[in-house]
Structure 1
Amino acid sequence: MKKELNGGLILRSLSEGIAQDAANLPIFYRDIFKAEGDPHAENLLPWTQDLIDRHPVVTEDDIWVIVDPAADDKIVSAVLLIPQVWRCGDVMLPVGQVELVGTDKDYRRRGLIRQLFEVAHARSAELGHVLQFIGGIPYFYRQFGYVMAMDVGMRHSVALFSVPALKEGVQSQFTLRFATYDDIPALMAFDAYYARHFTNFVSYYDETMWRYQIDGKRPDATTNRDVMMIVNTSGDAVGYLMLHKPLINGGHGLACIAYVVGPNTSYLATYEDVMRGMNAFVKETYPENDVLMVSFAGGLTEAFDALAIETGHALGPNMGLHTAPSIPYPWYLRVPDYVALLKVMTPVLEDRLDGSAANQYTGDLNMGLYKPYYLRITFENGRVTHIGQHELGDGAPFHVQFPDLTFLYLLSGYRTIDELRQLYPDLQIARNGRVLLEALFPKQRSTITMTG
């Protein structure tokens, strides 16, 4: 696509076939982020190149630049969209990640990002995405309809040496090894189990995406990860880790962005051997980095929390071997059409209602948004028979009124009704509405690891 903007600037996708756009884009991102003091700016070069020519689903129709013809078609602003899938239980949700948002400092405050977001959101809608997400600048993306409603940062940091070495003659019950293509069916099965038991939303990788994660990226790309299988004494894989490579020389921390176990083991059983395995792995693989700590992503299941917290406590309260930030940095989420998202989630909603305080519910759930319309979900014996948007004035009683975009905090599992009411006194709710909403949208973490 191609569009002329005010001031003679041109917005176009890479699919327009302008060779210099594809060649200049990685350099553009490197230079503008470097100017902002980003220590990882150099690693944006291979990441952008991967997105242009290696990524399994990103196409030239998903990458846009704004150029200035008066400056030899210099790229002055750019954004891209990474199509992907999230899993909620056994339901697949098509979503879009907006990424690598940047503008040359000499061209800011002209509304260029707004123009780029409009085309990115339109493309996302064309691809059938029910949600968009992005990480980045505090507050900035709220102006485009986003709210911070899903953990993305690190929650626990633990010293790698905090778990004692095995006593002489004692064998590890679990070890780590690099994943291969042969492990992909097991990786997908572990993710399916994890989605059913431990999380709200989780990144879904098909076989093609797992191949890309295992060895498809350039080695120095900022999104490169080590995928490690957790293996028992019989040689069977029982889970996996996804470790962010410590790309910057001299770094002292390893980031564990996924720790997934399958049905044949547990976090309790694997944790100490996994910690020992990571300690041995970083000493062998990154000896020049002197890696001392591992940080665990904020989206990891609550089932893991006590293990990380008590590891630090066991070594003494003054040793500084564990920190637990109370608020990991969140992803921004945007839902352009609640009805479309809720319809896709219908099987999950029915499963959550089953056995709850609203088991076999028959009736409506009317959710006001302080807009000229409201949302209605109709149930019959616990099954969803209707999800729709209705105009005000039909006399239907509201079960809840959500101010601003607060329904998204509930839908994402990021906040409870009580937490929201502490911040938003104008969130009004009736007894039946509370029972239904607490059953349908429980507070639960999400594990989103897909970043291109």
Structure 2
Amino acid sequence: MEQYLLERNILDVPSGCEPSIEKGFGLRPAALSDRQALVEFNSRVHHSREDAPPDEGIGFWTDDLISGALPGSAPGDFLLVERNGPDQAVSCIAASLCLISQRWTYADAGASVDFGVGRIELVGSDPAYRGRGLVRALFGAVHQLSRGKGEMLQAISGIPYFYRQFGYERALEMPAGRGCHPARVLSLGEPGVYRVRPAEPADLAFIRESAERMARRYLVSCRRGPELWRYELDGRNRASFIASRLAVIETEDGVRAGFMAHSAAVNPPRNTSISVELFEMESGHSWTQAAQAALHYLRKVGEASTRGGKARFDGIHFWLGETHPLFQVAPSMLPEVLEGGCWYIRVEELPAMLAHLAPVLEARLAGSILAGYSGDLLLSFYRSGVRMAFRDGRLSAAVPWQPQPSRRDYTPDAHGHAGFPDLVFLKLLFGYRSLSELLYAFPDIKVHGDEPRALLEILFPKRPSLVWPLA
């Protein structure tokens, strides 16, 4: 893959990412020798506003990734487009992005499967070279790089609409949240029966086990092994833009009762709050009293990062999703309601993805009124489709199928049992929306027959997800 990119300035790429790099530009994977140039480039182009100085936190994040501090990362996971000088001896970075490889889990009905995910981050271009198709070419290249690593999907968070042109659909929940102003914490009284402290290496096994138990509540989550949990504890540059901290919640006797992952500091003007990404308690312990102790702790974390009150600190935000236990038992403690977001998802090969998810789909079917089902489910995307073949409750095949939408006889063989426009089916696959919600929102979704509708609702229910991704 690297040699391919080095030898060509114009890429032969599928899926709407046609080559468009003009003469004078070259696309290649980064090398360790590009470390300082990429740090400076990303610090400059990823800022909170046009007149802002370079963002050092973004630079430290870039350095962690290109240096290999994140386990599994390497310089070649950055792709860059260079602007070559007239003599070809001098060049500058015109655009760049990074692939962060990770494992996500899809779990429900007592079954689960893991799969490789390529998270795309730090997508940026120099203002002087925008509008030339450089990012489009980078996406074509990064899709090839991700495919070569065996990753079944790519994911990205970011600006509205833009990534749709590269084959992405907003299809996976980014959790909503609740929060409060730091001053409100003082009205809650003393922390009570729990105390919170920074996590230590000896806590990592407990944290990992708690996180794995927490993941069972969610359809999609990000998997971390011991090496990655150690990185989250102390492997990242503490000044990184996305630096986080692990903390342990324990009883007055020092018994571990829970843990949380939270941002390390406020970072005005981009971010003036402390955010909590994970919060989990052991069975038998009070979520409400633990949250009270956590709020006192987080208020101190935020105040300590304001540089003696010079930086703004105006929020403590828990980004845990609407269904999180803490929000069920203590909503008044966190009165501010925070709107969630949505991941952009691109599935490399949908039939292969469906086949890979078979253990979960079969478990859902086995626990339903259609247990033991045999038959085909034809899914039309109007220009393409998938045939899912079930035999005695097992998914025996998931293969490409070609619908014939121009035929006027509305038979399953021509039009399928259900039709979904564009990439809307991904919202159903990843539990972001129910079939009823999609039918209401998209009039050109069609389901033909009661049994296909029941089957779709059983196989693809709406389910919450909580992905704390590697970054």
Letter in 1 for 2:64: D
Question: Structure 1 segments of 4 or more deviating over 6 A?
Answer: none
Please, which of 223, 226, 230 is the counterpart of residue 207 of structure 1?
Answer: 226
Identity of aligned residues (%): 28
- Report matched runs for 1:245-256 at 5 Å: 245-248=264-267, 252-256=272-276
Displacement of 1:450 after TM fit?
1.7
- Report the equivalent of 1:275: 295
Whether 1:337 aligns to 2:349 is yes
1:38 & 1:335 partners in 2: Cα distance?
Answer: 36
1:73 & 1:422 partners in 2: Cα distance?
Answer: 52
* 2:266/2:274 contact within 8 Å kept: no
Whether 1:297 aligns to 2:319 is yes
- Name the SS for the 1:324 alignment partner: strand
Change (3 A) 1:40 1:203: farther
- Name the SS for the 2:158 alignment partner: coil
- Which ranges in structure 1 are unaligned for 5 or more consecutive residues? 313-321
2:51 & 2:468 partners in 1: Cα distance?
Answer: 25
* 1:199/1:301 contact within 8 Å kept: no
Q: Spell out, residue by residue over 1:395-421, the C-alpha distance to the aligned partner (whole angstroms, 9 max, x if none).
A: 377331111111011111111112212
- Report the equivalent of 2:106: 88
2:370 & 2:201 partners in 1: Cα distance?
Answer: 44
* 2:200/2:233 contact within 8 Å kept: yes
- Report the equivalent of 2:42: 29
- Report the equivalent of 1:59: 74
Deviates more, 1:221-230 or 1:264-273: 264-273
Q: Spell out, residue by residue over 1:216-270, the C-alpha distance to the aligned partner (whole angstroms, 9 max, x if none).
A: 1111101100111222345333332111122425864211112233445464563
Change (3 A) 1:103 1:346: same
1:401 & 1:225 partners in 2: Cα distance?
Answer: 43
Q: Spell out, residue by residue over 1:302-349, the C-alpha distance to the aligned partner (whole angstroms, 9 max, x if none).
A: 43333453335xxxxxxxxx3324x42322111121122222222222
Deviates more, 1:100-109 or 1:343-352: 343-352
Please, which of 219, 223, 226 is the counterpart of residue 242 of structure 2?
Answer: 223
Aligned-pair Cα RMSD in Å? 2.7
Change (3 A) 1:32 1:277: closer
Whether 1:121 aligns to 2:140 is no
1:294 & 1:423 partners in 2: Cα distance?
Answer: 34
- Name the SS for the 2:23 alignment partner: helix
- Report matched runs for 1:277-426 at 5 Å: 277-283=297-303, 288=309, 289=311, 291-297=313-319, 299=321, 301-307=323-329, 309-311=331-333, 322-325=335-338, 327-372=339-384, 374-392=385-403, 395=413, 398-426=416-444
* 1:283/1:290 contact within 8 Å kept: no
* 1:377/1:384 contact within 8 Å kept: yes
Change (3 A) 1:387 1:174: farther
- Report the equivalent of 2:13: none
* 2:380/2:415 contact within 8 Å kept: no
- Name the SS for the 1:47 alignment partner: helix
Deviates more, 1:283-292 or 1:359-368: 283-292
Change (3 A) 1:162 1:110: same
Q: Spell out, residue by residue over 1:343-394, the C-alpha distance to the aligned partner (whole angstroms, 9 max, x if none).
A: 222222222223233333333322111124x222233343322222223369
- Which ranges in structure 2 are unaligned for 5 or more consecutive residues? 11-21, 405-411
Q: Spell out, residue by residue over 1:114-165, the C-alpha distance to the aligned partner (whole angstroms, 9 max, x if none).
A: 1111110001011111111111121111100111223336532223454654
Whether 1:47 aligns to 2:67 is no
Displacement of 1:36 after TM fit?
3.2
Displacement of 1:70 after TM fit?
0.7
* 1:151/1:298 contact within 8 Å kept: no
Letter in 2 for 1:47: W
Please, which of 198, 207, 211 is the counterpart of residue 187 of structure 1?
Answer: 207
Deviates more, 1:268-277 or 1:62-71: 268-277
2:232 & 2:125 partners in 1: Cα distance?
Answer: 29
1:225 & 1:126 partners in 2: Cα distance?
Answer: 30
TM-score by length of 1: 0.87
- Report the equivalent of 1:10: 26
* 1:40/1:248 contact within 8 Å kept: no
Letter in 2 for 1:124: S
2:142 & 2:382 partners in 1: Cα distance?
Answer: 27
